[in-house]
Copies of this chain bind each other. A is one copy, B any other.
Amino acid sequence: MKAMRTLVRASAIAVTAALLTAPAAAEDGYRLWLRTQAPVEGPIAISRLGDTPTLRLAEAELRRDLPAAANLPVLVALASDPSVSALRLPVADLGNEGYLVRPVSLGGRPVLLVTGNTDRGVLYGAFALIRHAASGGQIGSATLRSAPKVKLRVLNHWDNLDGTVERGYSGESLWDWWKLPDYRDPRYTDYARANASIGINGTVLNNVNAKADSLTAPYIAKAAALADVFRPWGIRVYLSARFSAPIEIGGLKTADPRDPAVAAWWKAKADEIYRAIPDFGGFLVKANSEGQPGPRDYGASHADGANMLAAAVKPHGGIVMWRAFVYADTDPEDRAKQAYTEFKPLDGKFADNVMVQVKNGAIDFQPREPFHPLFGAMPRTPLMMEFQITKEYLGQATHLAYLGPLFTEVLEAKTGRGRETVASVVDGESERHQLTGMAGVANIGDDRDWTGGTFNQANWYAFGRLAWDPSLDAAAIAREWAQQTFGTDPRVVDPVVDMMMRSREAVVDYTGPLGLAHVMATGHHYGPGPWVSELQRPEWNPVYYHRADRQGIGFDRSRTGSNAVAQYAPAVAKLYANPRTTPESELLWFHHLPWDYRLKSGETLWEGMVRRYDRGVATVATMRREWDGLRALVDAERWEKTAAFLSIQEREARWWRDASLAYWQSVNGLPLPAGVAAPEHDLAWYKAQSFPHAPGNPH
């Protein structure tokens, strides 16, 4: 025994020493926004009534993370616990996941009660209290009350079975498929904890560009091991299903959803999955899109395909998330119109456990897109929002681009149908659907700081918070994230929030202002490529989107063009139909306009474009200066990393600006306005840049 005690003591000393002599190692970003502040022997008395794994986690989290400032003992308990229900608190409308935190008197003793109708609710309450305290709130007087507005708050991991991550910029997949199910990396628990802390309750483990292998017995066992780890944190596991799996691993000759043998195969497969994962969430499907198989291969509709899968998981309470991101190989129709054209007629045809998952815009996660016209157009179908948290088109790992404003801009958009907003479509307020959901394409990898950079963590955080409550304010989320991540000192928080709130618009400015989109390089999507015109399919080429010529620039989606505007409700369509009533931020998305078109500022379109490119670069320079000012106030390791990233971003912002201007000038023949710096290189130089080893490429 003595030797053991010695060993333990030596180890504790070692740990303390390691960190105090090498403090940088402790500030590597691993702890995300959950930066433990509780003292070892804190003055806070935390007790618990009831005993489930999730209640125990709620208690443990409070012990671990609640700052020492509480002047009340804290009690964790279900609302149904007799001593709590006796208080007759207003908990009925908290539902299955809501929480209530408030000071109460229990047996004559004042306590801060953390409660909910379920243990998951209690856990969310514990995290809400920690968040409240870590963002500077008082603990003793805290009254916190919230229930999620969206039922399914789910990450989509575009993670491949070989460990790579499509459009991942933060290392390999967290899932060590190869060593699962035998080895359960402790990091899986930390992942679940981080998600639970912001209310995420589901995760799709594998890429929507799916392999059928993920549905074989060995991989079901691996997924089950992850589900076991995630379960007490209130997180369910989902899988992307490859539609042709019945052929590839089932030995069938077809995957036709109307073939009874196919339906039977999927039913048996679902039964097999549920035997291993009793609370399996269901399937996510990318069908008939970018080469993926689907029901259209057999002349069946997306509804036929989705409903067949839905029937397989229905007896188990599972759902199907069916992506609306489709555009055909051969369809000459404006790509922005195709998803609507395909899915709108299917409204009302989907089974009641199917959700249609729609990207925020009609193209593909561009720095700015108008909201997708399907939102509001399928009232009889629950539509999930699909946001991209990983910044495929917004500077990937290194550019600071806080996506909160991108998310809220879309959620707050009015669909033109009365007071309806995109948020009210998604959260079910509009049509009272039983199912509601929001999906975020994860930016998480096995980099030590999870997301390849401190500020990328904010996008994971913001997605979770907005999925819980789409009405939250992006700046408020930025502030609470910054407080938890860097501490509550306003000398840090204020400039950090300022940087974050400028950052997305800066990316829009230096990559594609005024509604330009899809002007990036091919394949890896890294850097500018507005000149790309030689790819096989027209809609793969940037020139398809910007349509710049000597006379003007922009995609005419008004009645004189593709008439995509007609896919919006009349009140919105009317605004978009006219350049004068189209928001200038979306101008060239909807209109092809002459270079000398007059903007509201009085500038020509060309002058306004140039000014915005310059403004984007200048904003990054300002962000750098702001960050430089924080050197003494932020730990060295995280400061250095962001400083290095901002220097990359400034260089690349200039590159985007210079390359784009050089190209536009080659098309319009116009001089730069007086006083504007010429591009550093000529157009040929920019075209010659090549990045064969850029990360995140699909296979």
Contact = CB atoms under 8 A, between A and B. Distances in A.
A398 B179 CA distance: 8
Interface in A1-35: 3-4, 7, 10-28, 30-31, 35
Contact of A39 (B3, B7, B13, B184): B13
B26 A15 contact: yes
B693 A213 contact: yes
B3 A648 contact: no
Contacts of A695: 162-163, 178
Contacts of A28: 186
Contacts of A446: 171-172, 446-447
Contact of A647 (B10, B20, B182, B491): B182
A161 interface: yes
A24 B171 contact: no
Interface residues of A, number: 67
B179 A397 contact: yes
Contacts of A11: 23, 27, 487, 635
Contacts of A184: 644
Given A161-B693, A693-B161, A693-B177, A641 B17 contact: no
Interface in A454-494: 487, 489, 491
Interface in A378-403: 397-398
Nearest to A60: B21
Contact of A36 (B3, B18, B35): B18
A692 interface: yes
Contacts of A17: 36-40, 64
Contact of A693 (B27, B162, B692, B693): B162
A567 B517 CA distance: 67
Taken together, the copies of this chain in the complex come to: 2
A63 interface: yes
Nearest to A160: B693
B21 A63 contact: yes
Contacts of A265: none
B4 A31 contact: no
Contacts of A18: 26, 31, 36
Contacts of A271: none
Interface string A439-451: 0000000111000
Contacts of A38: 17, 21
Given A162-B695, A695-B162, A182 B40 contact: no
B179 A4 contact: no
A586 interface: no
A457 B162 CA distance: 24
A633 interface: yes
A633 B4 contact: yes
A535 interface: no
B20 A40 contact: yes
A648 B693 contact: no
A213 B11 CA distance: 46
B178 A693 contact: yes
Interface in A167-183: 171-172, 177-179, 182-183
Contacts of A637: 186
A247 interface: no
A30 B25 CA distance: 10
A24 to B, nearest CB: 6
Interface in A77-103: none
Contact of A14 (B12, B35, B213): B35
Contacts of A692: 161, 213
B63 A24 contact: no
Contacts of A213: 692-693
Nearest to A163: B695
Contacts of A633: 4, 7
A18 B35 CA distance: 8
A571 interface: no
A191 interface: no
Contact of A491 (B3, B162, B489): B3
Given A15-B23, A19-B19, A171-B172, A645 B183 contact: yes
A632 interface: yes
B487 A10 contact: yes
Interface in A37-63: 37-40, 63
A106 interface: no
Contacts of A575: none
A536 to B, nearest CB: 24
A144 interface: no
Interface in A556-611: none
11 contacts: A7-B487, A11-B23, A11-B635, A17-B39, A17-B40, A172-B446, A178-B695, A179-B648, A182-B645, A183-B641, A213-B692
Given A163-B693, A163-B695, 20 more contacts: A3-B489, A3-B491, A7-B633, A10-B37, A11-B27, A11-B487, A12-B20, A13-B37, A14-B36, A15-B19, A15-B20, A19-B19, A20-B40, A22-B64, A161-B692, A162-B693, A182-B647, A184-B644, A446-B446, A448-B448
